[in-house]
Amino acid sequence: MVNFSKRLKQLRIEYDYTLQELAEELETTEATLSRYENDKSYPNTMMLLRLSELFNCSLDYLLGESNEKRKVEELFNKYYEEGAELEDILNKFRVEYKGKKLSNQEIANLIKIQEMMRNTNN
């Protein structure tokens, strides 16, 4: 899988930014971005979030942990809009809340909430 430095450069080029333009957009320096792209330095959490927002990608994708560019919320909404049941959606994702994997009961509660919401909208 691609690491962060390669992914950042790939996204910068894909979005047609020069180092200077991206530095201005992020209110940082070209040298800082160059260090990120050359794997000499690593951004802090706030910079990672800003990059993720700017390039409209998930943090996992930005960090090279996933090849799925879209954010989980976008995927979730896509499946939901296509009529998939929440149970099917949850099976596609590792479901966590505040870093803790949800139990089957907690997932079942989410499914019940989703069903109530769908019934209310009909």
Place 33 in a pLDDT band, splitting at 50, 70 and 90.
very high
**pLDDT score recorded for residue 112:** 75
Tokens matching residue 36: 């990120």
Give residue-wise pLDDT tens across range 83-97. 666 666 666 666 666
Tokens matching residue 95: 């479901």
**Cα separation, 77 vs 72, whole angstroms:** 8
Question: Please, what are the domains in the chain?
Answer: 4-63 (1.10.260.40), 72-121 (no CATH)
DSSP string, 19-70: HHHHHHHHTS-HHHHHHHHTTS----HHHHHHHHHHTT--HHHHHTS-S--S
